Amino acid sequence: MNPNTSHLRALGQSLWLDNITRDLLDSGTLKHYIDEWSITGLTSNPTIFDEAIGGSAAYDSAIRAAAGTGQSDEELFMDLALDDLRRAADLLWRIFLGSDGVDGWVSLELSPLLVDDTAGTIEAATRLAALAGRPNLFVKIPGTPAGIAAIEEVIFNGVPVNVTLLFSREQYLAAADAFMRGIERRIAAGRDPGVSSVASVFVSRWDKATHGVVPRELRNRLGIAVGGSTYHAYRTMLASPRWRRLAALGARPQRLLWASTGTKDPDAADTLYVEALAAPDTIDTIPEKTLKALADHGKPVAAMAADGIAAHETLELFRKTRVDLDALADQLQRDGARAFAQSWNRLLERVAAKRTAVAPT
């Protein structure tokens, strides 16, 4: 086992790969990451699948076989994605069982075009979870206002949820509250409260957004500070009487997940966020490039402080530079939703082009 990745596992943090391709599965690379580099789950998104389908011939035979089925481009893509994610879920199944459902998960993104459609999100999440047919699959729902309303209902319906596109402590707390409301309703209805969820807080985009507008000494510090503040809120929530009551009745914690942990600044360390956000009872969903860097030259680190003091001090420095953190968090979420929608549209265009290119003659 690689010592640089196993160190984080020993610290109590899970490492999930932020990638899924058919080539990763067919080549045995994903199995290698699981067996040797401490990977215990994975996530996906439209950009990942767009690059995977467009960048190789691995999907061509499946696309060709779908000719004449009458499927829409979106339906065909969902079939391709679910095929990959079912295989990955099966590969991670022993981890899922061995960790009592804490690890061993895969995640599937809903159509980003549903970002403002609460009812459509609820319907699509419930339908896709049933279609996937794997208990260790999360449906990804953005933590936007419409998404927050959907999350409560989807959790109440018993569907595991990865809340995505969270950028701040406040957005995280809204997601945690929606999750707990769904669990509370299940308890009131006499249902099993053990529905799993994770809350994905995006980190590096903060620093990319402020790179040119803050003093040099503050560059690449904002995302980590937001993470520290959110981690403090997470630990506080887990210690609250509300959560303790739910846990006593069999509820599972909604785990905090760090997303967007690849370094964007070429002048910064390529393992910057991974090492700074090492924290027990969290997940780092790590890009493949960053995973390779960690395995090659990552350093042992101490766990992130749970009190949030240093994080809040850093956030105050940014406020003094007149960075409106609340407004920027909302803007980052809107920009993220827009970028996912653009990636989704490109992905469907890619699928349509592939259908034409590989169609039987």
Domain that holds residue 86: 3-355
Q: Is residue 111 part of a domain?
A: yes
Flag whether the pTM goes above 0.85. yes
Q: Is residue 129 part of a domain?
A: yes
Tens-digit pLDDT profile for residues 340-354: 999 999 999 999 999
Average of per-residue pLDDT across 221-242: 98
Q: Is residue 179 part of a domain?
A: yes
Tens-digit pLDDT profile for residues 291-327: 999 999 999 999 999 999 999 999 999 999 999 999 9
Tens-digit pLDDT profile for residues 18-57: 999 999 999 999 999 999 999 999 999 999 999 999 888 9
The region of weakest confidence among 45-54, 90-99, 120-129 is 45-54
Is there a catalytic annotation at residue 354?
no
- Return the percentage of the chain with pLDDT > 90, whole number: 96
Give the Cα separation of 156 and 153 in Å (integer).
5
**Confidence (pLDDT) at 359:** 87
CATH of the domain at 207: 3.20.20.70
The region of weakest confidence among 69-73, 180-184, 234-238 is 69-73
Q: Is residue 360 part of a domain?
A: no
Residue 14 has pLDDT above 80, yes or no: yes
Q: Is residue 191 part of a domain?
A: yes
Q: Is residue 361 part of a domain?
A: no
Residue 361 has pLDDT above 80, yes or no: no
Q: Is residue 79 part of a domain?
A: yes
Give the confidence band of 166 by pLDDT, cuts at 50, 70, 90: very high
Average of per-residue pLDDT across 145-155: 97
**Confidence (pLDDT) at 55:** 85
**Confidence (pLDDT) at 68:** 81
Give the confidence band of 110 by pLDDT, cuts at 50, 70, 90: very high
Mean pLDDT for all residues in the chain: 96
**Confidence (pLDDT) at 54:** 87
Average of per-residue pLDDT across 274-289: 97
Q: How many domains does the chain have?
A: 1
Q: Is residue 295 part of a domain?
A: yes
Q: Which position among 31, 140, 292, 299 bears the catalytic label?
A: 140
